[in-house]
Structure 1
Amino acid sequence: MLENSLVMVAIILIINVVYVSFFTIRMILTLKGQRYFAAVISMFEVLIYVVGLGLVLENLNEIQNLIAYAVGYGIGVIVGMKLEEKLALGYITVNVITTEEAKDLPNALRKEGFGVTHWMANGREGDRLAMQILTPRKYELRLYQTIKELDPKAFIISYEPKTIYGGFWVKSVRKGKLGNE
């Protein structure tokens, strides 16, 4: 079966897509502090890597195998990134600055289940309402959509916090109680 060059190319391609996808997920889990889960994934990752690289090295004179290895690597990066988007691990913090005080944005966002801290701030063009919102990444797009519906001109910046400690809201989110679920 491995004598057929098209089958060999397909196997190498698939192996590398799977390997690089695992690599991407493992790196993200490591960065998010999920060390034990990352360690388990790394065992499968290295096993797949050794098998794929072994196939290429055994048939180094076949240029199509090298090309399949490289193409599989590139596709694996994309697949890994898509998987990470679907998993949406961790939290994001979103800072919102708006001039729309009358719409009571903080309470509207709280009704949607988001944790909001707000205060009045001064900008170059006058008073502004500033908000800091913490949410699981899986709700990120829903948060942006809600903000844009309430204030299309809102200034939004988001980032991933490295450490979260304390607060009543984090406890309820970790128990799976966000929004209208």
Structure 2
Amino acid sequence: MSFEIRRLTPPEFSLLAPQLVEIYIEAMHYNPAILHSRISSWRNDVTRPGFSAQIATHDNGIVGVAYGFLGSPDSWWDAELRRGLLLQGGPTEEQWDIVRNYFELAEIHVLPQYQGHGLGRKLLEGLLWNAPARYALLSTPEVPNEDNGAFRLYRAAGFFDVLRDHLYPADARPFAILGASLPL
């Protein structure tokens, strides 16, 4: 199979947001009813400092997406990160260093039928190669023994634990928040 990784401009990302969110919903097994609220949220993210996005394509169709931006105390995710660190007894000095200088890898998803071809790794590396921060942070659903492709990808790329078993208000599943020093 032949794939292409391509960077998107903010206007392209905004235009393609409905299709990109559909990939997210399928990959994360979310209820399709969230489609319109997620499209709006993703479109708003293009205004965040440091915004960057990439897609993976195959036969002129989009099969994967990754995007992110600089972490900021005015985002809900940063508030969740800080809340989680407080609940687990932190933040430590090392954690404060991370919280003050990170690129939030907001989303990275590949359609299930195209996983296992190295697209996640290419999207991850392409998105983070010039991220303007000392660290990258992301969250991923917890799985027993870290036994899935996402955890294997993140560990192979050098991601370490920042928080484990974090519960977001809108998702009953526990999540791991992982970080990596940049450049990867």
Question: Which of the five TM-score ranges fits, normalised by the shorter chain?
Answer: under 0.3
Between structures 1 and 2, the one with greater strand share: 2
TM-score between the two structures when normalised by the length of structure 2:
0.22
TM-score (norm 1): 0.22
Considering Cα pairs closer than 8 Å and 6+ residues apart, tell me whether 1 or 2 has the greater RCO: 1
Structure richer in helix, relative to its length? 1
